[in-house]
């Protein structure tokens, strides 16, 4: 299974509402972006409007790997952005900044590629399971980009009192996967760590000016420098670690409640995720109405099963809820929140398989559905095709396509084998000019 081979393979449209005010100070735009994170798009808008990041608000973070539309608002200044990968369309004005409360739902249209006939044959059963049982409302790999790029959980460094390591992991630890100019900026500071009076010559270095400028004036105050980062980005670092704690706690809760024999595993950026395959009616009703907490120092968990599972993860981390804080930095804080344990994709539609024009001899399937804000479409797709992401799953086995039913196999266009040079020569001998001449001579002899 392959996702997001092309930006148009993953399209998300935000459904929204806001109170329109013709005299409001916030200009509200519909933003169409592709191959950009929301943070990167906001940086472009700030540059175009010459405003601070605090003067741009939005409803939520949207995936980089795809084409997405969402609302964004700029305070007091209209802005014109019409770029190939970023476009703004004015839709009104508001007296208040945008927030997650302005999003009502998200509609996803996803093209899943590189499927075998066997994958397609199994899809109807899997889709029925998703409709009946829902999908565990985990945070998916997009939330854990810092792990993908080798930075780890920055907030854990801060909680341990090592602000220098947190700052170095962010400012001077270029990802091996990053081919942008930002990697050169970070490589420069890795080579010249502590030499804050040096000028970083690489384009894009200016985005770190507030942090580096602070270190020039206050060498050694790494926590103070970290606090000069963009506040919403800082909050995301906290939420990333909270999200991992949530995922791990829910996995333990499901093990305790359902048992491993009724769970299936799927690989993702931070390890594996567990999903129910079968549930008795009582357990299904219990999970449908269950919430699970995002932990904070003031978390109070009444349900004993939820409390045991959530706290077991902190025990593994050698922490308690009281440790979820950064000393001398009240600006960096954990907030308790309840998150639904299950999510049910609305209006789930699975189209018929078609030939995959990007992967020879394979199939593609279009899937569409609606999710509430904060839930991950990629998880729904992964759950639908869970066997392709199971730990230890063989790529060769997934590509074998054994036992393909006729209906699924008929979707694949026949690709005739190209004849060899010897076969082409034999064919010419059998059907060429000389062969036809021999055939006519033989026919005349038969008539004679």
Distance of alpha carbon 428 from alpha carbon 235, whole angstroms: 73
For residues 43 and 126, membership in a common domain is answered with no
The answer to whether position 220 is within a domain reads no
Distance of alpha carbon 132 from alpha carbon 435, whole angstroms: 66
The answer to whether position 391 is within a domain reads yes
For residues 374 and 429, membership in a common domain is answered with no
For residues 279 and 372, membership in a common domain is answered with yes
Q: Which of 241, 331, 252 is nearest to 294 (CA)?
A: 241
The answer to whether position 416 is within a domain reads no
Containing 338, the helix (H) or strand (E) segment is: strand 337-340
How far is the CA of 124 from the CAs of 3, 276, 349, 351, 384, in angstroms? 19, 17, 11, 11, 9
The answer to whether position 219 is within a domain reads no
The answer to whether position 280 is within a domain reads yes
Q: At 311, which CATH number?
A: 3.30.2350.20
| Structural domain count, the chain | 3
Q: Which of 294, 376, 289 is nearest to 340 (CA)?
A: 289
The answer to whether position 10 is within a domain reads no
- Does pTM surpass 0.75? yes
pLDDT tens series, the chain, 448 aa = 999 998 889 988 888 888 999 999 999 999 989 888 888 899 899 988 888 888 999 887 777 777 788 889 999 888 999 998 999 999 999 999 998 888 788 899 999 999 999 999 999 999 999 999 999 999 999 899 888 888 899 999 999 999 999 999 999 999 887 878 899 999 999 999 999 999 999 999 999 999 999 999 999 999 999 999 999 999 999 999 999 999 999 999 999 999 999 999 999 999 999 999 999 999 999 999 999 999 999 999 999 999 999 999 999 999 999 999 999 999 999 999 999 999 999 999 999 999 999 999 999 999 999 999 899 999 999 999 999 999 987 554 544 444 443 333 333 333 333 444 444 444 444 444 455 556 666 666 655 5
Q: Are strands 346-350 and 26-34 parallel, antiparallel or unpaired?
A: unpaired
> What's the domain range around 432?
422-448
For residues 317 and 299, membership in a common domain is answered with yes
For residues 433 and 341, membership in a common domain is answered with no
The answer to whether position 155 is within a domain reads no
For residues 263 and 383, membership in a common domain is answered with yes
For residues 81 and 116, membership in a common domain is answered with no
């Amino acid at each position: 299974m392959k996702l997001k081979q092309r930006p148009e393979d993953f399209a998300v449209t935000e459904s929204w509402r806001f109170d329109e005010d013709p005299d409001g100070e916030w200009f509200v735009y519909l933003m169409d972006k592709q191959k950009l994170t929301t943070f990167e798009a906001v940086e472009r808008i700030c540059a175009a409007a010459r405003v601070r990041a605090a003067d741009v608000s939005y409803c939520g973070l949207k995936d980089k790997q795809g084409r997405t539309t969402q609302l964004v608002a700029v305070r007091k200044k209209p802005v014109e952005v019409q770029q190939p990968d970023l476009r703004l369309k004015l839709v009104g004005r508001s007296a208040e900044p945008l927030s997650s409360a302005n999003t009502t739902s998200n509609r996803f249209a996803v093209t899943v590629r590189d499927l075998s006939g066997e994958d397609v044959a199994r899809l109807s059963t899997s889709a029925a399971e998703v409709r009946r049982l829902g999908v565990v409302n985990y945070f998916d790999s997009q939330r854990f980009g810092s792990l993908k790029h080798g930075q780890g959980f920055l907030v854990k460094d801060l909680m341990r009192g090592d602000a220098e390591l947190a700052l170095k992991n962010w400012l001077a630890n270029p990802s091996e996967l990053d081919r942008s100019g930002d990697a050169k900026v970070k490589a420069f500071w890795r080579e010249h760590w502590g030499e804050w009076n040096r000028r970083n010559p690489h384009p894009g270095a200016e985005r770190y000016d507030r942090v580096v400028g602070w270190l020039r004036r206050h060498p050694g105050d790494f926590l103070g420098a970290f606090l000069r980062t963009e506040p919403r980005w800082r909050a995301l670092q906290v939420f990333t670690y909270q999200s991992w704690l949530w995922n791990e706690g829910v996995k333990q809760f499901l093990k305790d409640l359902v048992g491993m024999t009724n769970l299936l595993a799927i690989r993702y950026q931070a390890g594996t995720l567990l999903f129910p395959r079968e549930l008795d009616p009582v357990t299904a009703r219990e999970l449908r109405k269950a919430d699970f907490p995002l932990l904070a120092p003031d978390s109070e968990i009444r349900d004993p099963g939820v409390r045991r599972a959530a706290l077991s993860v902190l025990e593994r981390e050698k922490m308690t809820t009281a440790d979820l804080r950064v000393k001398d930095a009240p600006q960096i804080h954990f907030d308790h929140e309840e998150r639904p344990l299950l999510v049910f994709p609305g209006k789930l539609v699975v189209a018929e398989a078609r030939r995959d024009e990007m992967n020879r001899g394979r199939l593609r399937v279009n899937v569409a559905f609606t999710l509430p804000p904060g839930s991950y479409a990629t998880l729904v797709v992964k759950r639908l095709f869970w066997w392709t992401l199971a730990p230890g799953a063989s790529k060769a086995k997934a590509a074998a396509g054994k036992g393909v039913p006729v209906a699924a196999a008929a979707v694949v266009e026949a690709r005739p084998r190209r004849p060899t040079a010897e076969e082409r020569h034999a064919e010419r001998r059998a059907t060429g000019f000389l062969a036809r001449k021999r055939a006519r001579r033989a026919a005349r002899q038969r008539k004679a």
